[in-house]
Chains A and B, each alone.
Chain A
Amino acid sequence: MARTDVQLMLDVKAGDEASFELLLQRYRTPLVNFLYRMVRNREQAEDLAQEVFLRVYRAREDYVPSAKFTTWLFRIATNLALNSVRDNRYQKLEVSMDAPVTVDSEDGDERPMDVPEKHPNIEQYLVEDARKKMIRHAIDKLPEKQRAAVLLHKYEELDYAEISKILSCSESALKSLLFRAYESLRVELAPLVAMQVKQ
């Protein structure tokens, strides 16, 4: 029977390095995805995810299972992401007219668009690619705290109590935050929403 997150973390506290490795394998993908969707830069997302694991390791001796492990883990991740987003906001983004046209690949990276000579269904490919880009753009436009709430609620499937602890707000404030976020998303994604509703 697999050990729970708390059991693994207590074993890490006792000096078991293999338990830390298990936690790393369990949460590396969710953390990188959450951070990537927050900061929209893959390299930065991985760097932040590494920092999360490092902080977990540093805190091992003082660890007390007073809350769910995921609450603690994503609280560290959210704080790092929010700080990073605020720092990035003040950086100037220079867009070159000569820059190559890029598309979002399936792994989330932007890369130059391939000339679709041999693609069997280029129209479908472009349509799907455009949809993903539109969805990502709509999430990016959300204020960072609303974005964090949507990502934690939708992709990490954390309950309202956990998310409110992570974002340091009440459950009613969290529900209001999520409501406003979904209102913004349904407006931003109106063409796609209309297609979904009709189906």
Chain B
Amino acid sequence: MSCERMESKILSYVDGRLKESERPDVEKHLEACAPCRVRVAEFRAVSGLLDELPVIEPSPAFDARVHARVSAEPVKVSWWAWMRVSPRVAFAASMLLLASVWLGFYSHPAAPQLPWSDAKEADAQMMQDLPVLEDHDVLQNFEPLKSLPAPVGADEAAEAQQQQM
């Protein structure tokens, strides 16, 4: 193994992450190469020095600031959210529907009792009676009406009123 090839393996060797299959070649090179041995030792020293840096703790307000920023995020509304109906609206709508049905049922008058069982027959009879009711000649000769006093004309009505005054 050359010193150039060692460059890609030296740190893995220092931090113990080198593949076991590669270890024999690396160690064989280190036995024969002093500069690479020095480099390995110095890289180990650097790694040790990096361990001396202290770990800092986040400030006491850190968590609160994260929570505040998360809480300030707008609530995402999905595109089909408009179809959702709140429970109150759904309840009010169902009550309205029930009321409409109830009012519609009770306000519809009962159909009149007809002597004819068939509605078509009833209609036909009514159509036949209509010309009779509109026939004045028939009314004039109608027996019950003959016992009534004769109708008073307009002039006679005026004379009668003057006589009374």
Contact = CB atoms under 8 A, between A and B. Distances in A.
B127 interface: no
Size class of the A contact interface (CB-based, 8 Å): 35 or more
B121 interface: no
A153 B15 CA distance: 10
Contacts, number: 105
Main SS at interface, chain B:
helix
B69 A182 contact: no
Nearest to A198: B45
Interface in B4-30: 7-8, 10-12, 15, 17
A179 B10 contact: yes
B149 to A, nearest CB: 94
A193 B54 contact: no
25 contacts: A24-B63, A28-B62, A29-B58, A32-B62, A36-B56, A46-B58, A46-B62, A54-B73, A57-B73, A107-B57, A108-B54, A135-B50, A135-B52, A135-B53, A172-B8, A178-B11, A179-B7, A182-B46, A185-B50, A186-B43, A186-B46, A196-B48, A197-B41, A197-B42, A197-B45
Interface of B: 7-8, 10-12, 15, 17, 39, 41-50, 52-59, 62-63, 65-66, 69-70, 73, 76
